[in-house]
Each structure stands twice: as C-alpha cells, then as structure tokens.
Amino acid sequence: MPQDLSRRHEMRFGTELTRDGVRFRLWAPKHDRIVLRIEDGERAMQRLDGGWHALHVDGVAAGARYGFVLADGLRVPDPASRFQPQDVHGPSEVVDPDAYRWSDAAWRGRPWEECVLYELHVGAFTPEGTFRAAIGRLDHLADLGITAIELMPVADFPGVRNWGYDGVLPFAPDAAYGRPEDLKALIDAAHARAIMVVLDVVYNHFGPDGNYLAAYAPIFTERHTTPWGAAINYDAPGSETVREFVMANALYWIEEFHMDGLRLDAVHAIADDTRPDILEALAARVRAGTPDRRVHLILENEENAASRLRRDVGGRPVAYTAQWNDDIHHALHVAVTHEGSGYYGDYLGDTAKLGRALAEGFAFQGETMAYRGAPRGAPSGGLPPTAFIAFIQNHDQVGNRAFGERLTHIAPQEAVRAAAAVTLLAPQVPMLFMGEEWAAAQPFPFFCDFAGALAEAVRNGRRAEFARFPEFHDPAQRERIPDPTAEATFTAAKLRWDDAATGLHAEWLDWYRRILAVRRVEIVPRLAGLGGHAGRYEVVGPHCVAVQWTFRDGGRLDLAANLKDVAEARAPAAAGRAIWSEGAADGESLGPWSVRWSLHG
C-alpha cells in the first residue's frame, strides 16, 4: 500500500508555517524599514543583521495573501513566493508544503544510462495546458519508451503564456499551469510509471517584467554584462546571499517537489569569478543534499567545457551528469536540410564534425569556430558517451526559426528518419521534443504575453533578429513572422493529440516505439560498461560516417550512416549482428539516407 508522505524544503528565505502562525522573512539590505502587508493590514518588520527583515504573525494560516511594502511605497511580492495566484505583480500566497501527500516513498530515481528524455512545454503539451492535464498523457510516454520528461521552465512569468525563460519568481510554479500541488501530482504520477522528471531552471537572468529584486537587494552587478544587461551578482558585495538564494532554489525543487534533476539553462551566460564558482558550488550542494537518490544535473553550455562533466574513479559524475550536445544536432541538421546560415555554417560540408561528435562528444574541442570568431570547447574523448545528450530537435532549434517549423516540415521524411535513427540508438542519451514521435504538424514559434511598450519592443526585436537572413531582407517578408505576443501564436503551438492516431503520424509513432524498444533491449544494458575513449570514427564520404564504440567486456557497437540522397559505395561491409537498419543499408554499399547499426560480441 502506498505510503502517505509529505515533503518540505527548509528555506532561509520566504515563509515558514509554525504551530502558531507564519514566519515572514525578506532579505532587503537596501532598506532600513520594510512593512509586511498581509490580507488588509500592515505591520512593520523587525530589521536583523545582514540586511534581513523578519516577523512572526500569529493566527495566520496557509492561503493567506501577503506582500512587502518598501520605504517609497512600492509593493513587491515575496521573491521566494511558493505561489502567485494573481501573477507576478500580485500578492504572494502562504503555501503549506505538507498539504500534498506523496505516494512515491520507494522512488529513488533511475540510472542515467536508462534515460530517454522528452522535452515538453506544459502550456502547449495539452489543449488545457496544465500540470493536471499532462498526467493524462503519461501513459502515452511510458508506452513510447520515455523514461524522463524535461519540463521547460515553470517559474512564475508575467501573463498566461511564455516559453518560461522570462521567469521572475523562481520558487513559484506559474498559476497558468496550476497550483504547486498540481505540479507535485504530475511528478508523483510520473514516478508511478517509472518516469523521472527533470526541470529546466534559469540562473543566468531574470525576465524583464515583474522582477523587483533590484529595488531592495544587490541582485545584479555591473562587474559583468550578459545578453540581458548587468549580470546576476555571484561574485560582488552581497553575492553570498544571492548564491544561497539560487542554491536554495535548486534544492527546493529537488526536495520539496521530488524532482529527479535539473537542466541549467545557458550557463555560458553566468559570470562568476569566485572559486568555486556558482555552478560548482550548486552541484556540490545538491550532491551532498541527496545522498540516497539518483539526481541528474544537466547543462546547456555553448562553451563545451568538458571539465564540468568530469567523472570520479568509479565513473560517477563529480558535478554535472550530462550536457545538451548541440554539435550533434547541428551536424545532423545541416546534413538533412543543407542550411548553412549562422552557426550552421561551421558544420556545413564538414562530415568529420558529425563523426567526432558521435565518437568523442564535442565536435569543437578547442578549435576556432568561425561563427564565434574564437576557440570553443575542450577535449572530451575521455568522457563516457552518456555525458552527452543527443537530439534532432528541441525547443530552441525549432522555436528560434522565424516560423517555428519542425524538422519534418523542412526536410524529407527519409532524411529525418535517418537522423533520428542515429541519435536514438547512439550511446549518448537521446532526447525528443514533444510531438516529435508522431511528426506533429504544429510549429513551436516563440511566444510570450507582454503588454505595452515591452510587447512592441519584443515584437520588433523578433523581426529584427531575422533581418540579416537573405529571405528576410524584404521588410514585407519580416512582417509575416508571427507576432510573439499574439495569443494565436501560442495557440498554434499546442499539440493536437488526435493526429497521432492517423495516417503518416501513426506510422511515425509506431516507428519511434519500435526503435526505442531496440534501444531498451540492445543498447541500455551495455552503457554502464562504456567508458571514456570508447568511440572512434571514419569519414567514408560526404555526409557518410562509420563509428565504433567498444565496451569494457570487449563487445562493440557499429554505426554506418549515409546522410545524403545518393548511394555511397565505399561504406564498410555489413558485419556483426544487425539490430537496426534504415533505408538500403544491408549490402556492401549504403543507399540514400541509410543507417545501419550492428553489435559484435
């Protein structure tokens, strides 16, 4: 019988329910006086050392609405609010972390090598766009072969629709998706189906609307600049508490919500000269705080810093478990689309980069990238393949296109299927983007819910981004780009689940189920024994590679892939036990868009 559990993260920040009421606490070193506004009354808080203000109020219970009033009269929400029922500018709500009773007492997570990730946006994943509605699709994911879902950021953002990267209250699940208890129910239900839940978190910036922190705390520093302006203060005066705020947030999601891991967005945009820096300190705090659970920490990092992914002598991650491998995506994308603008130009016509990314992890390991005009990366061959996450689509690579087209809309079906066959059976951890498994027709354009001058700036900025591309030199063409602030842009991104059972979509879904079943049986059991320097590759011809990975027991996994629309006669002869074949890949040559996987020993 399931055990009835509650969980809470003991925070230095925010509110804490006591036997008699609620303790309120705010770090506001810029102010000598802070007033707590609770329900319809106001009370002066007590100023403590270190810039803290605190007050215990008897008789207050969960559900009470509150906020803080600064000396100039500005009303602000709690930066550690657990819930914002009236959005980012409204009052915070006292939440009882013990209100939800968990049923997953035996859950300790899953080994990383078993991971098949599925990235989803809660608002666009179902017609309802809520945590509770997502529960109804978990059986589909379990049947597909998904073992982990990766939620795009859910931290409270302004309005009712957003990708999630404009969050300003990092502890509060956005009310558009439901209450905190609803998110917990989704995670609980996923665990009941042996599916892990990973949350995308943003520690490199705050959104432009609703972030009040700078009004009362040194949250930013001019020592560093980022694409969003002044950097979050991780290494200037006051940074100790800022660092604690961020590390508390990471542990909050893992402890109070029982998340199985976090994906840290764009860590290359985090500036910190402290040693250990915030990334290393955060990972150490999480590892120390979860000794009895499998917790997986994932990076998005354009710098390709292999040191962040280092392993101990037993092969366990010292800090971060894996990184999104953009190199594999880019190399496969240019092969199937022939696009060469922007960063794709560094991969177009360079088949060796695909082979190296598959065999060694990073394609750039210190070489200069023309798009950046600077060196990128570090040697990564000593890392196991499972330190990298491979994919052919994700929210960025789809949504950062002008119209948000999916890969199946811009490349031939057989080309997409060949690219998918490479990532889904490779020793790296595969990731799908929601709807990919049935070649969903819905785009995933950028969307948000700003108003006024900010909305106009975002709208114009979005169109200006594409002005440098030849197809958008004409202003009339740029006007065709969907307005990111329009509700229709968001609505267009919502998955239409009925499609999955019809025609070509059903064929795609069957294909994904079958190939993921092969991964589960043939690949996953061997990954625990796959160490560093396991892969080697050969460029057979243009867009044609042969890659081999050697297991510690002497067995070997072979890939031969011809990612072009003409045959390749120089491919290595088929050998070993075939486990998957795509296209005409059984003979001594490889037909157009063909992939052959085989096992030896």
CA–CA separation, 41 and 26 (whole Å): 18
558 catalytic per annotation: no
- Cβ-based neighbour number of residue 229 at 10 Å: 10
Tokens of 495: 């998955």
Q: Report in angstroms the alpha-carbon separations of 590 from 92, 297, 349, 515.
A: 61, 38, 19, 20
CA–CA separation, 534 and 386 (whole Å): 11
Pick left, alpha or beta for residue 3 (phi over 0 → left; psi -120 to 50 → alpha; otherwise beta).
beta
DSSP 13: S
Query: Coil, strand, or helix at residue 397?
Result: helix
CB 585 within 8 A of CB 568: no
Tokens of 259: 């998340």
DSSP 519: I
Query: Coil, strand, or helix at residue 319?
Result: coil
Q: How many residues does the chain have?
A: 601
Tokens of 22: 């609620």
CA–CA separation, 43 and 307 (whole Å): 50
The DSSP line for 463-501 is HHHTTTSGGG-SHHHHTTS--TTSHHHHHHHS--GGGGG
Query: Coil, strand, or helix at residue 139?
Result: helix
CA–CA separation, 335 and 322 (whole Å): 25
- The b/e string for 5-17 (b: 16+ C-beta within 10 A; e otherwise) is eeeebebebbbbb
Question: Which has the closest alpha carbon to 336: 245, 414, 390, 453?
Answer: 414
Given the residues 300, 326, 436, 449, the one annotated as active site = 300
CB 383 within 8 A of CB 532: yes
Given the residues 114, 181, 200, 265, the one annotated as active site = 265
98 catalytic per annotation: no
CA–CA separation, 462 and 457 (whole Å): 8
Chain mean position to CA 77:
27
Give the end-to-end CA distance of the chain in Å, rounded to a whole number: 43
Query: Coil, strand, or helix at residue 123?
Result: helix
Question: Which has the closest alpha carbon to 42: 19, 70, 20?
Answer: 70
Question: Which has the closest alpha carbon to 158: 114, 210, 101, 118?
Answer: 210
Torsion of CA 262, 263, 269, 274, to 10 degrees: 30
Active site residue ranges: 265, 300
